Amino acid sequence: MIGESGHSLFKAVIDSHEAVVMTTHMHPDGDALGSQLGLAAFLMQQGVAVTILNPDPVAETLAFIVEPHHQVRTFNPEIDRSRLRDASCIILLDNSAPDRLGSMEAAMVENAARVLCIDHHPSRQPPWADLILDQSSSATAAMVYELVTRQGWTPDRAAARALFVGLATDTGFFRFNSAWTRTVRWCRSGSTPGLRSAATPAGWIHRK
Ligand SMILES: [Mn+2]
């Protein structure tokens, strides 16, 4: 679970920026992209402009969770170095390790003072200014769900689907017992009708 300090930090960050750039690890998987799109939906509803700028393009198997209004770009050093430099806030999801940022590593480290990192992997002294880390969480998508619902937001259908894909990807589609109890509770939660309707056949999920 995310502690009180994490929820407070999240609120402080979202309340103080009108635009954010979001990124993740190289070769974004379902949890990376799903947590980005779920968080983006929340932020856009709060009036925050969101640009998703990733080291690698969206995998074909995940294209279905990207909505037409989402801005998902692939990092191009010539254009996007200045985009990162000019961003007042950069949110790094599902990764805290600079060396998993691929082509974005140097540019991200240069701007580490304005990075909020939200991740569930074990970390090694990450350089980012703000950290919300929870190794007990089965997916970054689950952390995003916890953060945005605490702010009183109910994910809409598209956001719920993106978060569900994130959770399904990192739990091997719920094969692991450790994730199971919490996940079932999460999906059954009365506040998340979107999650149940978002549950679709396993065939389209890109397995890690
Ligand atoms: Mn993950």
Question: DSSP secondary structure string, 119-132?
Answer: E-S--S----SEEE
Instruction: Give the total residue count for the chain.
Output: 208
Instruction: Please say if the pLDDT value at position 105 is more than 70.
Output: yes
Question: How many domains does the structure of the chain reveal?
Answer: 1
Backbone angles phi, psi at 59, to 5 degrees: -65, 145
CATH number at residue 82: 3.90.1640.10
When pLDDT is averaged across residues 77-105 and rounded to a whole number, the result is 96
Enclosing domain of residue 142: 1-208
Model pLDDT, residue 108:
98
Task: Report CA(185)–ligand 1 centroid distance (Å).
Answer: 19
pLDDT for the residue 204: 40
Residue-level pLDDT at 171: 85
Distance 140 CA to ligand 1 centre (A): 5
- Look over the chain and give the mean of its residue pLDDT values, rounded to a whole number: 88
Tens digits of residue pLDDT in 119-152? 999 999 999 999 999 999 999 999 999 999 999 9
Q: How many helices (H) and strands (E) does the chain have?
A: 8, 6
Give the pLDDT confidence score for residue 34 in this predicted structure: 97
Note the pLDDT of residue 94.
98
Residues at Cβ < 5 Å from ligand 1 ion: 31, 94, 140, 170
Contact present, 177 and 71 (Cβ < 8 Å): no
CA-CA-CA-CA dihedral for 29, 32, 33, 39, to nearest 10: 160
Q: What is the Å distance from ligand 1's center to 31 Cα?
A: 5
Q: What is the whole-number distance in angstroms between the Cα of residue 141 and the centre of ligand 1?
A: 7
Question: Average pLDDT in the 54-76 region?
Answer: 95
| pLDDT given for residue 179 in this prediction | 54
Residues 43, 65: Cα–Cα separation, whole Å: 17
Q: Tokens for 122, please give them.
A: 């074990």
The CB-side HSE value for 45 (13 A sphere, CA atoms) comes to 15
Structure tokens at 200: 């679709």
pLDDT value of residue 8: 98
Q: What is the pLDDT of residue 172?
A: 80
The Å distance, Cα 133 to ligand 1 centre, comes to 12
Residue 174's pLDDT is what? 66
Confidence of residue 20 (pLDDT cuts 50, 70, 90): very high
160-207 pLDDT, tens digit per residue, is: 999 999 999 998 876 655 555 565 566 655 445 455 444 443 434 433
The pLDDT of residue 201 is 39
Whether the CB-CB separation of 57 and 133 falls below 8 Å is answered with no
Count other Cβ atoms within 10 Å, centred on residue 123: 15
State the distance from the centre of ligand 1 to the C-alpha of 178, rounded, in angstroms.
Answer: 15
Q: How far apart are CA 32 and CA 88, in angstroms?
A: 22
Contacts of 98 (CB under 8 A, 6+ apart): 105, 108, 109, 126, 127
CA of 104 to the centre of ligand 1 (A): 19
